[in-house]
Amino acid sequence: MIDTKTLLNGYKIDKNSLDDIIDELMLDKEINEFVTSNDIKPEVLMNSINTLLEFRDDTITNEKGKRESKSVKGYKLTLRYENGIIKSSYKSLYPKSKKNEKIKVVNLPNEILDASLEDFSLTSEERKSVYHYARRFINNFKTENEIKGLYISGKFKCGKTYLSVAIANEIAQKGYNVIMCYYPELSSILKDSTKINSEYSYLDIVEELKTVDLLILDDFGGDSLNTNIRDEALGVILQYRMTKSKPIILTSNINLSKIVDVCLRKDGSESERIKALRIYERINELTEEFQLTERYKEISF
């Protein structure tokens, strides 16, 4: 249930007015259709009031008659319902070029596949720091001055995924192959690939992830880490890329220092801790960590 004493995104929710606010939100045609089509329950609405208020207040009808974001020109704030939670994201009203053929994407939002470093906001020192490192990473990719990849941690909508896709686009433009994976989805694919008559070959997937010029794993730690995936896939991929100096970029809502705990099995035995520590050490060797603490309201995922 919402903490009514908390101020979120500029909206202070009074407990006595929750029902009135929901009734008011349901007068919005788009919100009403979204709620009705997804059969969203009242308790979900109550826990998503701030998302819905932001959607309503940020959406206008532009001079061309299109529904558009008031704060991000050329984009529209959209709603989606995932795992019992209402979420929002920005979608371009004017799609640009089709996805670069050098980039293979596994379950990332289509609306950010044209992400550009030029559009990455430099509103804080931490954003400037990761931006300048990203520029160095791109400029020195596959040269004798090549530097580590990036481990970008931070809260939802701070720009982690957007920045990693922007880097991927520039690397692809230089002629190199890139694979970008939403890690929880990749984990599911790897699990399914071990089944009989699977559409995918487990060994082929691991081999491709090991050898691609640049590998990007998005939302790492966003899914419980199956120990078989950890030891037989992730560990192998990281070890190979470390020994062959093949860079990797990871985004996560978890600081790198906490990755050991994420990679542990529940029993927390000493042997398990050693295996988890190996994952941490490989990631630490392959990447430079940057933390984004600022939630940025502009085309960020």
Both tokens assigned to 89: 């994201």
Nearest Cα to 191, choosing from 162, 164, 227? 227
Task: Give start and end residues of each alpha helix (H) in 156-221.
Answer: 160-173, 183-192, 202-211
In this structure, are residues 168 and 135 in contact, taking their beta carbons and an 8 Å threshold? Answer: no
d(CA 131, CA 296): 14
298 or 278, which is more confident? Answer: 278
pLDDT digits (tens, 9 = 90+) for 107-161: 776 666 788 888 888 888 999 999 999 999 999 999 989 999 999 999 887 889 9
Percentage of the chain modeled with pLDDT above 90 = 34
Locate CATH 3.40.50.300 in the chain.
103-292
d(CA 247, CA 141): 9
pLDDT at 301 over 80: no
pLDDT digits (tens, 9 = 90+) for 154-165: 988 788 999 999
pLDDT digits (tens, 9 = 90+) for 38-59: 889 888 888 888 889 988 998 8
d(CA 225, CA 75): 35
Both tokens assigned to 170: 């520039």
Q: Is 156 left (phi over 0), alpha (psi -120 to 50) or beta?
A: beta
Which residues touch 96 (CB under 8 Å, ≥6 apart)?
114
Percentage of the chain modeled with pLDDT above 70 = 81
Mean pLDDT, residues 167-189 taken together: 90
- Give the angle 143-214-202 at the CA atoms, nearest 5°: 140
- Give the angle 177-180-182 at the CA atoms, nearest 5°: 165
Mean pLDDT, residues 76-96 taken together: 76
Q: Residue 16: which pLDDT band, with cuts at 50, 70 and 90?
A: low
In this structure, are residues 34 and 82 in contact, taking their beta carbons and an 8 Å threshold? Answer: no
Dihedral of CA atoms 95, 64, 118, 301 in degrees, nearest 10, equals -70
- Phi and psi (nearest 5°) for 176? -95, 155
Task: Report pTM.
Answer: 0.65
Q: Which CATH number fits domain 103-292: 3.40.190.170, 3.40.50.300, 3.40.50.1100, 3.40.50.1820?
A: 3.40.50.300
The pLDDT of residue 267: 62
Do the strands 149-154 and 287-292 form a parallel or antiparallel pair, or are they unpaired?
parallel
Both tokens assigned to 97: 């070029």
pLDDT digits (tens, 9 = 90+) for 198-218: 666 888 889 999 999 999 999
